């Protein structure tokens, strides 16, 4: 849009001459004030009009329209001390923008062409106004102001160019926009997204004492457990062939499928091509109790006591396979295992599968059921588990002073993702855009996070960049915040480093739910979608007093309205071994 790359950088060394001494190629300032304000023109042509008068044709040095000036020969002017190749200075005009319909995502390029040292400034239209394409904060510019710039550009010696956001047809090559159309959840707050959302807004928690005999003697006996038996909500024959995590996943997937407006019976009942639908679920172990139970029966009853379903019900991929069976999905059934980042990474991978045309619809999220004696004992041995009485409040204290560890939990969260074209063609209700995601690895320790937060910050920036946004677009963060001393602090450092001094409202849900392991990213993504949809940020339960070292705007006490300016919500998940995953969701107008 701007000037020729052949246009050189010109050192400005002003001195005074008469008009008669000026020749084509000179950089000319008509007045001393113009020179002070860096308002220069290239002399492209001179023509004597009379013995004492010369007509000059002038053009901004970085390109623009010509203007004519008539000067007396003895008139004093300022030149810059260096000549330009006139042929290298383009003649361009800024088009009027009065009839142009602006859309969010459009770009505007503005160059002060009369200043040889100027650099082009780019604005991006977001939230109905124009913002500098930079992480630096700046005042928003209205559409009216942008149109005025275009009208005045030629007269003021500016160049203004409008770059519309690309519009892709459904069949066009390249990345497609992905949207969220359905939600499902099974959590310690109950079965269904309604129970989840109401519990979050009311500040309730679902952490309970483990009263089964098998937990006797453990140093910690509290966990975030689902309050109903999922097997009782499914046909008996089907439930017997699923492990507990798969039961959670199927229930959440069925809810999300119906919430998206699809018919009971999966792809068959909905008239969808099953090859264009996929499943992408995260899990660390899935259901650890199956393998433990099989080993116990082997020791008690011998080989004949071990069920032939032990192996297929043990693998972490059982949840994804059971969802694909239940809804007759044949496009793909993927399982992601990346510690506690599994659910978020599974959603991100599904976003890419839709973006690039592998499938049109995907059920994505996570499912986990690892509240077992051995897992609880292992976490306790690591000194990672919190203790406390659930009857007196949540034992999980994310971001709080005196936090002492996480609470193990279970559940499932599933999103229905679709290409925007697919969703709009069927008239679907759209919650928000699944705009982008980011991954990174700490490469620091087998269990502990990198205290610098650098790996987390990289994932945050990558998610924002993948969403085509700027850090200034972020209006809310659903934090991972497990309530471990080092983990919360590393995440807070990363968020403050990326967000700068802006007070972006942050919430952490593990005080409500406990840490749902591989399902955490799925359930927290469901909550982040609902936050965008309802415009409310749930409070952080269990954080009576924020640790001074956290230095974040932690939402506590009561829900808070989502800030009106900005459109990105980030949902964070970080796991043992340095797995970092961040999902970026965008508000849809």
Catalytic residues: 340, 480, 515
Parallel, antiparallel or unpaired: strands 129-132 and 178-187? unpaired
Secondary structure of 529-545 in HEC code, one letter for each residue: HHHHHHCEECCCCCCCC
Angle, CA of 266, 270 and 274, to the nearest 5°: 60
Write a three-state SS string for 214-236: HHCCCCCCEEECCCCCHHHHCCH
Report in angstroms the alpha-carbon separations of 232 from 85, 229, 236, 238. Answer: 83, 6, 7, 11
Cβ proximity of 523 and 412 under 8 Å: yes
Tell me the two tokens of residue 102.
């602006």
What is the chain's length?
589
Q: Please count the other Cβ atoms lying within 10 Å of the Cβ belonging to residue 204.
A: 15
Q: How far is C-alpha 412 from the geometric centre of its chain's CA atoms?
A: 21
What tokens were used for 486?
Answer: 């080092």
Tokens representing residue 128 in the block? 């109905």
CB atoms within 10 A of CB 318: 28
The tokens for 228 are 């109903």
DSSP for 549-563 reads TT-SEE--SS-EEPP
What are residue 350's phi and psi, to 5 degrees?
-65, -35
Contact 480, 487 (CB under 8 A): yes
Distance of CA 410 to the CA centre of its chain: 25
Other CB atoms within 10 A of residue 304 CB: 7
202 phi/psi in degrees, rounded to 5:
-80, -5
Residue 249 has phi, psi (to 5 degrees) of: -65, -45
Distance, CA of 53 to CA of 36 (rounded, Å) = 26
Helix (H) or strand (E) holding 465: helix 454-466
Contact residues for 5 (Cβ-Cβ < 8 A; gap 6+): none
Dihedral of the alpha carbons of 344, 588, 181, 423, in degrees to the nearest 10: -120
């Amino acid at each position: 849009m701007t000037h020729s790359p052949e246009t050189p950088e010109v050192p400005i060394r002003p001195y005074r001459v008469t008009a008669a001494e000026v020749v084509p190629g000179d950089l000319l300032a008509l007045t001393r004030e113009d020179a002070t304000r860096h308002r220069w023109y290239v002399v492209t042509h001179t023509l004597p009009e009379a013995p004492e008068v010369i007509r000059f044709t002038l053009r901004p040095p970085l390109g623009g329209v010509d203007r004519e000036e008539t000067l007396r020969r003895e008139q004093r002017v300022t030149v810059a001390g260096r000549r330009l190749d006139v042929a290298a200075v383009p003649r361009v005009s800024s088009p009027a923008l009065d009839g142009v319909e602006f859309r969010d995502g459009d770009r505007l390029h503005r160059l002060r062409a009369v200043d040889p040292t100027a650099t082009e400034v780019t604005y991006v239209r977001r939230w109905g106004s124009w913002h500098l394409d930079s992480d630096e904060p700046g005042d928003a510019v209205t559409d009216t102001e942008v149109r005025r710039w275009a009208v005045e550009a030629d007269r003021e010696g500016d160049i203004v160019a409008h770059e519309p956001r690309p519009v892709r047809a459904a069949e066009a090559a390249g990345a497609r926009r992905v949207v969220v159309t359905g939600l499902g959840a099974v959590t310690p707050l109950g079965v269904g997204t309604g129970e989840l959302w109401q519990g979050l807004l009311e500040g309730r928690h679902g952490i309970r004492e483990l009263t089964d005999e098998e937990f006797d003697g453990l140093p910690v006996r509290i966990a975030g457990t689902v309050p109903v038996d999922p097997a009782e909500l499914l046909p008996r024959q089907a439930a017997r062939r699923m492990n507990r995590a798969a039961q959670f996943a199927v229930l959440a997937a069925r809810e999300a499928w119906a919430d998206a407006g699809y018919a009971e019976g999966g792809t068959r009942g909905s008239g969808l091509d099953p090859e264009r639908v996929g499943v992408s679920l995260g899990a660390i172990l899935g259901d650890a109790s199956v393998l433990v139970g099989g080993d116990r029966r082997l020791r008690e009853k011998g080989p004949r006591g071990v069920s032939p379903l032990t192996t297929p019900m043990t693998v972490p991929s059982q949840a994804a396979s059971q969802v694909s069976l239940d809804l007759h999905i044949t496009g793909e059934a993927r399982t992601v295992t990346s510690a506690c980042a599994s659910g978020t990474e599974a959603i991100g991978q599904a976003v890419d599968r839709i973006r690039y045309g592998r499938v049109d619809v995907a059920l994505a999220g996570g499912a986990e059921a690892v509240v077992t004696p051995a897992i609880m004992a292992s976490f306790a041995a690591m000194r990672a588990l919190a203790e406390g009485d659930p009857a007196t409040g949540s034992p999980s204290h994310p971001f709080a002073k005196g936090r002492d560890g996480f609470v193990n939990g279970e559940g499932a969260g599933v999103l229905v993702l679709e290409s925007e074209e697919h969703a709009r063609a069927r008239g679907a209700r759209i919650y928000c855009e699944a705009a982008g995601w980011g991954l990174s690895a700490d490469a620091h320790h087998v269990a502990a996070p990198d205290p610098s937060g650098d790996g987390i910050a990289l994932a945050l920036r990558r998610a924002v960049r993948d969403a085509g946004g700027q850090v200034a677009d972020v209006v809310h963060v659903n934090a991972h915040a497990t309530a471990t001393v080092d983990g919360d602090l590393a995440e807070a450092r990363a968020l403050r480093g990326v967000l700068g001094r802006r007070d972006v409202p942050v919430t952490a849900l593990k005080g409500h739910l406990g840490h749902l392991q591989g399902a955490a990213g799925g359930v927290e993504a469901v909550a982040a979608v609902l936050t965008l949809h309802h415009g409310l940020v749930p409070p952080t339960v269990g954080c009576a007093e924020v640790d001074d070292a956290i230095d974040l705007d932690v939402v506590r006490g009561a829900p808070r309205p989502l800030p009106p300016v900005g459109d990105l919500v980030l949902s964070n998940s970080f796991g043992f071994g340095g797995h970092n995953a961040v999902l970026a969701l965008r508000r849809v107008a």
